[in-house]
Amino acid sequence: MKLFHSRNSSMPTTVAVSTTAAALIFSVQVQAQSIPEEEITYNSHVAAIINENCVVCHRAGGIAPMTFTSYETVRPWAPIIGYRVGRREMPPYAYDQDIGVQHLIGDWRLEQQDIDTVLAWVEQGAPLGNTDIIPPAVEIPSLDEWNFTESLGSPDLVLGSQPIDIPAAGNDMWHRPYTMTGLNDDRCIRAMQVKPKGASKAVVHHANSTLEIPNGDGSYERFSQLTEYAMGKWGEMMPEGVCRKLPANGRIAWDIHMYPGGLGAMAPGEMIEDNVVELGIWFYDKGYENEARFDQDLRLYKLGEQDNLIIPPHGYEMTQGFHSFDHPVRVDSFQPHGHLRMNAASLEIYYPETGQIESVSQVSKWSATWHHNHIYEPNVAPLVPTGAVLVIKQWYDNTAENPNNPDPDVFVMGGSRTADEMTHAWLAMTHLDEEGYQELLAERLEQQSETVTSTLK
Amino acid sequence: MNSQSSERKTSVHPSALLLLVFLLLTTVIGAFAQTAFAQTMGRVFSAQESELAELFDAAFIAQAKIFAEISAIGSSPATQAARDQFEQNLHMHENMSMAEMMAMMQMHASMTMPGPFDELESHFGTQMIILLKTRQSRSAVLDAYENSPLPRQVVEVLHRGRQFESRLYEILADPSVSDIPAALREDVANYLSADGSVPAKPIPADLLLEHPHAGAFARGYPKLSGFLWATQWVQLATIEALLLQAQEVQYWGSVDTVRARFQGKMQGSLLPVELPMTPAIAPTLFTLSPDAAVIIDNLNIFETVIADVLSYPNLENKDVATDALVAQFTNPDTSFASTMDYLLFALRGGIYNQGGPAIGELSQSERNRSRSEMGMQHAMIMSTQ
């Protein structure tokens, strides 16, 4: 049921209109919890939500297929906006509510109140509202801007891959250049973002960067994984008190996978010239490396051997990985990785001494379109005691029920191509010692105590 | 003040008398038209929006003439060479990979490609512009399909569609109709009750995009397809304007805006390059009566698909193909698209590309990716390592 305004009246009346459209569209479970009863309009209520949460992608040249920068472009999409927002499919940040850690940095999920507002607006016929009310202006960075500029300023160091010209449409390509960092001193990284430059966004599937350091004989050896980028990834932030080290005199070994034309975005012309992927790095101040007590690293954690992964036609698969440490750790971020058939992932901690399992993160509607790196807020990032086991699970659906599945009739094997599958996760881990672990535990307990006390007051 | 009010109540202005006589006459004529010649616009809409009513009558004739013209061009010996070349181009398109098609689209993104019959199209287009600006006689409207090359079954579907749309405009224009959704439900039920109706469920997009002759109309006749879609746009945009006018004071005069925009299109600005669909151009109708919205879209898709067949070069037995389409489009038991698929298909065509919004401003395309590129979602995935 919705209200439809009476003829020639600016006030809503009681002319009740039952719309099959609403019934059809909202036959799915929409998780509206408290639909506001007042009239909800675009100008007064919804524009602010869309501008703040959607326009960053839904703008001219953005990664989204269409723009949502005005009522004229938003109104026709209202039924679909309601459907997607109500199911928490948009904004695209798949992460289960009410399971595990919920306080995340860079979390795109809408507040329930905003979801309810959008749903009420759609239910009421998606009205524009008073034209004298001007919705708040959209203040978004340019498409080439760095994501952390607002909070951290421009990157301290920008490292670009070797420019190459590639066709705007074609087959998979891989590019593996090196870039010298030019750093003369060891530094601790505060944040990182990998960003295809300009039109390169239309072709770059993923870009991995590995840090290599000279080994004394003129050659280089691997130091650590630096970062990983896949379409939709925002960036990485390192919490205070830890050091993700970028050592002096190193170089970046790139592994860039391009699929010209395959991303669906338009690249102008026949060739994309000077295709470059950039790595922006923000450092902690000099001297911080002496203050930081613990090292943090980013590593790939396997869920079994990828070469053994076989998903039968019209079948399912589930993989598990178990990892434990001989020292306590803090899990700072979790980024599951797979391709077209992967549709869910989770991270748990198993405590052998008690036999208990604790859920950390669950992503029941995982999609390879959005490779989110779930960064836990430092005061809730899971603390893992020595000997406890990280349990990573990933699920695969090779049936026709999987909307991302291009061909349910084929066997899918582990491999690098888009059509293959992968089974690993990227975790950023702070490596603690027993003393540090106990200190962090004590801090948590104190926080909880303060929270309880303030609640009782 | 009171006496003036009293006079107003008791005296009858001469113009009101004239209107009363007019309404009585049109009621009688209208009743006759409803039974025999219901394809002319209804009396209330004609009285309230006379210029648009005349335009819609002219558009009905224009649509019939477009079908006739592409048939004539397609059978003229003078166009044989152009048809052969066009046929080759269509075959090349059919065999293109998605990547090749994208590369070609990128090359031509900023160009308006002339059709193979450009000169003939331009000449005929001029006639259409004049026709759409001219008041048409009742007999001209009624005889629009008299000598049509279209099979009788096709014409019947078009006539029934015209009846449905005509009644819909009556409902929206009539201030005495207080319960618009109920009136629309009745209109839909009435329309669906007879043979030759398209269903009130969404025809799958494949019927427009993937049928054996798909795209021939737009590629062969970019100007005429633009004209046909412009006439469909103005009808949809009028629906949106009427519905919004009925809701809020701030939308009063919207119908005039729509008419002015259509006149602008006739002068060459923003002819649609995609088939206009209700969710994009008349979203309020979709919200209010999805059944009515879907019927209109199915009818408009039907017109384009018929035009595809007529446009396809060197095609034998076009009647067989159009008869098959009639069977498909009027089969109530065919498989239908889901509401979500229908909405996505309609909106991915682009609001701007479908002619632009009825009300409000949109000065450039809101699409970052085209409808055909949206089919590449499976490739929008990346691998690593």
| Angle A429-A435-A440 from CA coordinates, rounded to 5° | 60
Which of B197, B223, B215 shows the shortest CA–CA distance to B93?
B215
- Helix (H) / strand (E) element for A393: namely strand A389-397
Q: Where are the beta strands (DSSP E) in A234-328?
A: 236-237, 242-246, 251-258, 271-275, 277-283, 294-302, 310-311, 316-324
Q: N- to C-terminal Cα distance for chain A?
A: 44
Distance of alpha carbon B59 from alpha carbon B231, whole angstroms: 6
Partner residue opposite B366 with nearest CB, options A6, A67, A269: A67
What was the ipTM of the complex prediction? 0.83
Is the Cβ of A14 closer than 8 Å to some Cβ of chain B?
no
For residue A18, what pLDDT is reported?
35
CA distance B20 to B4: 23
- Cα torsion A279, A283, A286, A290: sign: negative
pLDDT tens-digit series, residues A383-436: 999 999 999 999 999 999 998 898 999 999 999 777 899 999 999 999 999 999
A262 band by pLDDT with thresholds 50, 70 and 90: low
pLDDT in tens, A361-370: 999 999 887 8
Q: Which residues, other chains included, contact B369 with Cβ-Cβ below 8 Å and sequence gap of 6+?
A: A65, A66, A264, A265, A266
Among candidates B99, B284, B361 on the partner chain, residue whose Cβ is nearest the Cβ of A261: B99
- Going residue by residue through chain B, which has 385 residues, state the pLDDT in tens, using 9 for 90 and above: 333 433 333 344 555 455 555 455 544 444 444 333 345 688 899 999 999 999 999 999 999 999 999 999 999 999 999 999 999 988 887 776 555 555 555 554 444 567 888 888 888 888 989 999 889 988 898 889 988 899 999 999 999 999 999 999 999 999 999 899 999 999 999 999 998 999 999 999 988 988 999 999 999 999 999 999 999 999 999 999 999 998 888 898 999 999 999 999 988 767 899 999 999 999 999 999 999 999 999 999 999 999 999 999 999 889 999 999 999 999 988 889 999 999 999 999 899 999 999 998 898 999 887 666 555 443 343 333 3
CA distance B360 to B257: 9
Please give the pLDDT value at position A202: 67
Question: Out of A63, A264, A371, whose CB is closest to B376?
Answer: A264
Please provide the size of chain B in residues.
385
Chain B residues touching residue A126 (CB < 8 angstroms): 283, 287
Distance CA B187, CA B292 (A): 8
Which residues on chain A are in Cβ contact (under 8 Å) with B249? 8-10
- Which are the contacts of A219, defined by CB distance < 8 A and separation ≥ 6? none
DSSP state of B268: T
Q: Closest partner residue to B379 among A69, A75, A259, by Cβ?
A: A259
Element at B211 (helix H, strand E): none
**Minimum CA–CA partner of A22 in chain B:** B287
Name which of B48, B362, B366, B377 to mutate to probe chain A: the one with the most chain A Cβ atoms within 10 A of its Cβ.
Answer: B366
C-beta separation of A298 from A431 below 8 A = no
A64 touches chain B (CB under 8 A): yes
pTM of the predicted protein model: 0.82
Minimum Cα–Cα distance from B349: chain A residue: A66
Q: What is the pLDDT of residues A90-144, one digit of tens each?
A: 999 999 998 999 999 889 999 999 999 999 999 999 999 998 998 887 777 777 7
What are the residues whose beta carbons fall under 8 Å from the beta carbon of A92, sequence distance 6 or more?
A108, A232, A367, A369, A370
CA gap A392, A349 in Å, rounded: 9
Across the range A453-457, mean pLDDT stands at: 58
Residue A103, strand partner residues = none
Instruction: Using alpha carbons, list the distances in angstroms from residue B111 to B215, B226, B344.
Output: 18, 15, 26
CB-nearest partner of A168 from B106, B367, B384: B106
Q: Does any CB of chain B come closer than 8 Å to the CB of residue A65? A: yes
Chain A, 313-342: which have a CB under 8 Å from a chain B CB?
Answer: 337, 339-340
Distance set, CA B145 to CA A300, B62, B139, B219, B224 (Å): 70, 10, 11, 25, 18
Of A62, A228, A259, the CB nearest to B384: A228
A-B CB pairs within 8 A amount to 210
Distance, in Å, from the CA atom of B259 to the CA atom of B256, rounded to the nearest integer, reads: 5
Handedness of CA B277, B279, B280, B284 (dihedral sign): positive
Per the model's pLDDT, the better-predicted residue between A5 and A192 turns out to be A192
How far are the Cα atoms of A46, A242, A254, A334, A371 from residue A225, in angstroms, in the given order? 42, 17, 11, 15, 17
Confidence class for position A167, pLDDT limits 50, 70, 90: confident
Helices (H), B248-370: 254-266, 278-281, 283-288, 290-311, 318-329, 339-348
Q: Which pLDDT belongs to residue B72?
A: 93
pLDDT recorded at residue B104: 56
Q: Do B249 and A10 touch (CB under 8 A)?
A: yes
Q: How far is B181 from chain A (nearest CA, A)?
A: 7
**Closest residue on chain B to A230 (Cα):** B382
Q: Count other C-beta atoms under 10 Å from residue A215's C-beta.
A: 11
CA distances from residue A349 to A196, A331, A389, A442, B103 in whole angstroms, order as listed: 35, 10, 6, 20, 49
pLDDT digits (tens, 9 = 90+) for A31-70: 445 555 679 999 999 999 999 999 988 988 777 889 999 9
Burial call A217-242: b when 16+ CB within 10 Å, e when fewer: eeebeebbbbbbbbbbbbbbbbbebb
CA distance A388 to B50: 80
B174-193 residues touching A, CB cutoff 8 A? 175, 178-181
A319 contact partners, CB below 8 Å, separation of at least 6: A303, A304, A309, A393, A394, A396, A423
Q: What pLDDT is attached to residue B117?
A: 85
B367 DSSP 8-state letter: B
The continuous run of DSSP H or E covering A61 comes out as: none
Q: How confident is the model at residue A152 (pLDDT cuts 50, 70, 90)?
A: very high
What pLDDT is recorded for position A350?
A: 98
Judged by a CB distance cut-off of 8 A, whether residue A402 touches chain B is no
Using alpha carbons, select from B173, B191, B186, B149 the residue that is nearest to residue B299: B191
Residue A68: predicted pLDDT = 95
End-to-end Cα distance, chain B:
87
Between A12 and B102, residue with greater pLDDT:
B102
In chain A, what residues touch B247 (CB-CB under 8 Å)? 4-7, 9, 127
φ and ψ at residue A365, rounded to 5 degrees: -120, 55
- What is the average pLDDT value for chain A, to the nearest integer? 86
Q: Which helix (H) or strand (E) holds A157?
A: strand A157-160
State the pLDDT at residue A37.
Answer: 63
Question: What Rg do the C-alpha atoms of chain B give, in angstroms?
Answer: 22
SS3 A315: coil
**pLDDT at position A14 over 80:** no
Cα dihedral B264, B268, B269, B275 sign: positive
